[in-house]
Amino acid sequence: MSKLIEIKDLVTNFYTYEGVVKALNKISLDIDKGITFGLVGESGCGKSVTVRSIMRIVQSPGKIESGQIFFHEENNGSTSDSEPVDLLLQTEKYMRHLRGNKISMIFQEPNAALNPILSIGAQVSESFLFHKKKEMAGKILEHLSAEDDTTLPLIKPFLRFAYTKLAENPQSGLLKLFSRVPVLKLWETKLKQEARRRSVEIIEKLAIPNARKIFDSFPHNLSGGMKQRIVIAIALACSPVLLIADEATSNLDVTIQAQILELLNTLKNDIISSILLITHDLGVVAETCDRVGVMYAGSLCEVADVKELFHNPRHPYTKALLNSVPKRAQAKKLETIEGSVPNLVTPPTGCRFHPRCSLAMEKCKQKTPQIMDKGNGHMVACYAAA
């Protein structure tokens, strides 16, 4: 399998009043094409920061300090790897082109993730208007040359001119000028209609009934599950290569949660190639993921295929985590992990888990263990897991 995202030694810090919060401690992680990757860990362990670093949308006072994030872009469906790009070195303009287009993201809180005062339609079609202008212009030109087109002959040449221009160069200054002039502004109508058509299409695809009506409604008209579907629709609008789901189902009812997960699974075969699923729910991971990464206090402990991880956990933290999940035939008392999550302003030296680890050695206190392949793609960052 070929890699899609390759993270190397990523460090992200937050500069707060209490001190520098070392949120990510040299994370290295590979995500392959075509899989669902689960990232698990307690809240505050840096899962969200990791994915936000991938998209480079870490908000102030956070800052990506060092590391590399390679993105292997597909070349017209061919599997041969093109030159990977280091996202941390790219310009903001490149990143804008990438976000929502190649990599997109859905969020934990559907109620907060939608702008309350813009209509659903406006928010969904925004994605098309950002990334697919060129494509849409081509489509509109086609329509314009079709014989059954009913556009007035007077405006037709103007529209054709505008859209040819748009197809050539989406950033055309002339068109921006047009958009500011009252009557000429109307050239955008066709573009908006096209974006609307596409939005309704994508909303329908997410098994939402009455897509047209939804298009014109506002976030407060919809239920939580519905809103989450809309958030997914926004993310899927441009058929991204990677979809990042940041606790996308945590705040929903269990039934709706199941629906959304199923939806994501079908979509994975259909539109997107890979999913990066962030969750603290191990059940969800077992059910949907191909490969899992476990994080603790800003560092990655263990990465393995899902069955391998559940049957043969090797990092003490993973073991403890799995033991703390209630089982159907729970005979013993439920185990907990001793101690509490460390303050990341002054994290423990060496392995960040060592103060709570039953197998801790002197070495663990001094040097951070590197994450290493222990065979079969089972990667562990622990001295004790030989």
Q: Which of 131, 227, 314, 378 binds other proteins (CB under 8 A)?
A: 131
Nearer to other proteins, 65 or 126 (CB): 126
Contact pattern for other proteins over residues 5 through 44, marking x by CB under 8 A: ------------x---------------------------
Spatial separation of the C-alpha atoms in residues 98 and 123, rounded to whole Å? 18
Nearer to other proteins, 119 or 368 (CB): 119
* Cβ–Cβ under 8 Å, residues 292 and 304: yes
Nearer to other proteins, 44 or 377 (CB): 44
Nearer to other proteins, 347 or 377 (CB): 347
> Which residues does residue 99 pair with via DSSP β-bridges, in sequence order?
103
Contact pattern for other proteins over residues 84 through 123, marking x by CB under 8 A: ------------xxxxxx--xx-x-x--xxxxxxxx----
Shortest CB 60 distance to other proteins, Å: 8
| Residue whose pair of structure tokens reads 């801790």 in the numeric block | 360
218 lies in the binding site for other proteins (CB under 8 A): yes
Q: Is the dihedral of CA 242, 246, 247, 251 positive or negative?
A: negative
Shortest CB 100 distance to other proteins, Å: 4
How many residues bind other proteins, per CB under 8 A?
33
Spatial separation of the C-alpha atoms in residues 290 and 283, rounded to whole Å? 13
Q: 167-179 burial by CB neighbour count: b if 16+ within 10 A, else e?
A: beebeeeebeebe
Spatial separation of the C-alpha atoms in residues 384 and 301, rounded to whole Å? 12
Whether residue 61 has a cis bond before it, omega within 30° of 0: yes
Shortest CB 124 distance to other proteins, Å: 10
Shortest CB 246 distance to other proteins, Å: 9
Shortest CB 16 distance to other proteins, Å: 9
Shortest CB 115 distance to other proteins, Å: 4
User: What is the CB neighbour count within 10 angstroms for residue 258?
Assistant: 14
Nearer to other proteins, 125 or 318 (CB): 125
Spatial separation of the C-alpha atoms in residues 162 and 167, rounded to whole Å? 9
Nearer to other proteins, 225 or 313 (CB): 225
Shortest CB 130 distance to other proteins, Å: 5
Residues 6+ apart with CB under 8 A from 383: 351, 361, 363, 364, 369
Nearer to other proteins, 133 or 314 (CB): 133
Shortest CB 219 distance to other proteins, Å: 9
Token code pair at residue 60 = 């102030």
Residues 44-73 that bind other proteins (CB under 8 A): 52, 55, 57, 59, 61
Spatial separation of the C-alpha atoms in residues 12 and 26, rounded to whole Å? 8
76 lies in the binding site for other proteins (CB under 8 A): no
DSSP string, 272-306: -SEEEEEES-HHHHHHH-SEEEEEETTEEEEEEEH
Shortest CB 244 distance to other proteins, Å: 8
Q: Could you give the C-alpha distances from 166 to 95, 96, 132, 162, 191, in angstroms and in order?
A: 21, 19, 11, 6, 10
Nearer to other proteins, 78 or 171 (CB): 171
Nearer to other proteins, 5 or 309 (CB): 5
Nearer to other proteins, 117 or 154 (CB): 117
Q: Could you give the C-alpha distances from 227 to 35, 107, 118, 251, 336, in angstroms and in order?
A: 26, 11, 13, 12, 35
Shortest CB 174 distance to other proteins, Å: 18
Q: Which of 158, 213, 149 is nearest to 188 (CA)?
A: 158
127 lies in the binding site for other proteins (CB under 8 A): yes
Binding site for other proteins (CB under 8 A): 17, 52, 55, 57, 59, 61, 96-101, 104-105, 107, 109, 112-119, 126-127, 130-131, 218, 220, 231, 234-235
